[in-house]
Amino acid sequence: MHPLIWIPIVVVGAAFQTARNALQRTLVGDAGPWGATLVRFLFGLPFALAWLWVTFLIWGGAAGGIETGRFVAFAAVGALAQILATAALLLAMRQSNFAVGAFFQQVALPITATVGFFFGDALGPLAIAGVAVTTAGLLVMSWPAAGADGLRDWSAARYGLMAGAAFGLSGNAFREASHTIAGAHPVFAAAATLVFVQALQSAALGGFLAITDRRALRAAVGAWRVSLGAGFCGWAASACAFTALSLAPAALVRVVAVVDMPFAAIASRGLFRERLTARQIAGALLIAAGVIACALGALSFSPPTR
């Protein structure tokens, strides 16, 4: 497997992520943020199971077994963090607009890099510079304009920060979980981790809604055509992300995933008739420059051997 194959995998996953976010956003009105979050996991699970079977047939299973305790712990932490991140992202999109909400989640980049450092992921000078420039772009992007009363509405930025922090934690947790599957091909390890995580998320969030908000659960299931599309796109995005995370540090994967910004801008303009301000465009350009620097820094990274 080519050492940089994870880069195009992330780009493809980013396109599916934008499609998933757009479909989920259409569900928020009836199903609420938690119901719209559930469809990503529940309706994506059948696709994840099918993909696991395909990877097993092609690459085989875990020849060296699984460190069960560490696997379950990291997968559970990542699963919970991803649930919270997805709900917060949908709320950020509702408070601002689709593109800006998607941009806010990129705050996960510096958080992912920081958390990854404690897990032993080392980044080169160029990648570190890219993280810094991208973070500056995020600050420019997230600064809200003053309203007529002179006050600034920080609600979208707060939800975006929550989403980014939780996505940063989940990315590193999923990477560590996949690495506990010894002797397995990275693609199979990623697929196995994805199935376990989505099954756990479907059971936990589905059970929670069955007890606390059956209306949201019925709305999510009732709109099964949209939910199925969101589930498929969610599975495809997660499969790409989990595979990339098994091959490269979470911070680098997070950086290349920022390529979803132009996808989100196109979707925001074409589907929701929303526009970006000049300041938001300037922030996006800074973020793009940081992504390029990190991508160049990734050229010197060698993935772990298995």
In the chain, domain spans: 6-298
Q: pLDDT tens, 89-114? A: 888 777 666 666 666 666 666 666 66
Name the residue type at position 115: V
pLDDT value at residue 70 = 94
Q: Which residues contact 179 (CB under 8 A, 6 or more apart)?
A: 189, 246, 304
Q: pLDDT tens, 153-211? A: 667 777 877 887 788 788 889 989 998 998 888 889 999 999 999 999 999 999 999 99
Percent share of the chain, pLDDT over 90: 32
Structure tokens at 61: 């299973």
pTM of the entire predicted model: 0.76
pLDDT value at residue 306 = 45
In angstroms, rounded to a whole number, what is the distance separating the alpha carbons of residues 146 and 152? 5
